[in-house]
Amino acid sequence: MDIVVCVKRVPLTEEVDLVIDEQKKGIKKDQLAFVLNDWDNYAIEEAILLKEKHGGTVTAITVGNEDDEEVLRRSLAMGADRAVRIEVGDTSRFDSFGISKMLSRVVKDLPFDLVFTGVLADDDYCGMVGMMMAEQLGIDHANMVTAIEIEDGKARTTSELEGGLGEVSLIELPALLAIQTGINEPRYVSILGIRKAAKKELKIMDLSDLGIPDEELSPRAIIDEVYLPPETEGAQILAGDPDKIASDFVEILTKKGVME
């Protein structure tokens, strides 16, 4: 079972004040910490679990600069066998369509039974690279996958639907599966583990290696402007010392009739 997993490095934005950049096309990232996209962490873990059960290889791929290699090293430390970074300079020149084309081009030349992506990336929330790749590669697919069993050369998958329903399908391989969070419990990675994994192969390719003409990568969807959410009335904030806050809290609950 050879599995390719597409991963992305994203900024941590929870409990952080985000500042819009001068061009109003994105946010200032120099003060932010970066991590492996949560969905991709589950995707890597799932690939490694399948490899442990069925044998084969796991390859992690990302599009990005040298800093983005951090998520590849992490993937290698978790148990991936090799990694590929596609160097394109400034990634913000490309949209999801362009990124999917590059990834598909590289995946095409690798042996694979399964390709995994995360359902979404925690930064732009687009969630389209995976399924675009499936179409470009001409393979079948499933979205929001929360369980995978391999049986007789097919994948039995459960996809998460709205309202607590799962959809079970049987899919021919090769296939692309977009992995949902919660499918497994991603393993812990130590600093030492990451250092040890430095010996594993990390291949760097650039756009000329891919041989995709520039015009085929030009963005179809363009961010005109980013801005802070429009002001709303918002919540009435309970202020004061903890005792005052607690009194107000109880008063609200009493008024709403849930203190009996």
Partner 1 sequence: MSELFVIVEHRLGEIREITFEMLWKAGELAQEHSHTVTAILLGHEVNPIAESISDRADKIIIFDDERLKNFNADIYKEAIAGLIEESKPTLTLIGNTSWGMELAPCLAVRAGLPLATDCIDIMFKDDKIIAQRQMYSGKIFSNVSFASSAGYILTIRSGVFSKDRIGDRQAEIVKKDFPLKDVPLKKDFIEFVETAAGDIDITQAELLVSVGRGIGEEENIPLVKELAEALNGVVSCSRPIVDKNWLPKYLQVGTSGKSVSPKVYIAVGISGAFQHLAGISGAGTIIAINKDPKAPIFRTADYGIVDDLFKILPVLKDKVLETKKG
Residues 92 to 111 in contact with partner 1, rule: CB under 8 A: 96-97, 100
Rule CB under 8 A: choose which of 126, 207, 210, 212 binds partner 1: 126
For residue 252, the minimal CB distance to partner 1 (Å) is 6
Stretch that binds partner 1, among 105-113, 170-178, 189-197, 205-213 (CB under 8 A): 170-178
The smaller minimum CB distance to partner 1, of residues 93 and 195, is found at 93
- State how beta strands 9-11 and 34-36 pair: antiparallel
C-alpha closest to that of 89 among 217, 191, 177: 217
Indicate whether 69 belongs to the interface with partner 1 (CB under 8 A): no
Tell me how many residues contact partner 1 (CB under 8 A): 86
The smaller minimum CB distance to partner 1, of residues 199 and 220, is found at 220
Residue type for 87, please? E
- Interacting positions 127-166 with partner 1 (CB under 8 A): 127-132, 134-136, 140-144, 146, 156, 158-166
The smaller minimum CB distance to partner 1, of residues 198 and 253, is found at 253
The smaller minimum CB distance to partner 1, of residues 55 and 257, is found at 257
The smaller minimum CB distance to partner 1, of residues 19 and 198, is found at 19
Q: 12 with 121: CB under 8 angstroms? A: no
Indicate whether 216 belongs to the interface with partner 1 (CB under 8 A): no
C-alpha closest to that of 150 among 240, 69, 52: 52
Give the H/E segment covering residue 100. Answer: helix 96-108
Torsion of CA 70, 122, 190, 177, to 10 degrees: -90
Radius of gyration for the alpha carbons in the chain, expressed in angstroms and rounded: 22
- In the DSSP assignment, the letter for residue 186 is P
- The 173-192 contact track toward partner 1, x by CB under 8 A, reads --x--x--xx--x-------
Q: For 199, left (φ over 0), alpha (ψ -120 to 50), or beta?
A: alpha
Burial zone of 136 (CB within 10 Å; 0-12 exposed, 13-18 middle, 19+ buried): middle
Indicate whether 123 belongs to the interface with partner 1 (CB under 8 A): yes
- Interacting positions 223-252 with partner 1 (CB under 8 A): 223-230, 232, 234-238, 242-243, 245-247, 249-250, 252
For residue 82, the minimal CB distance to partner 1 (Å) is 27
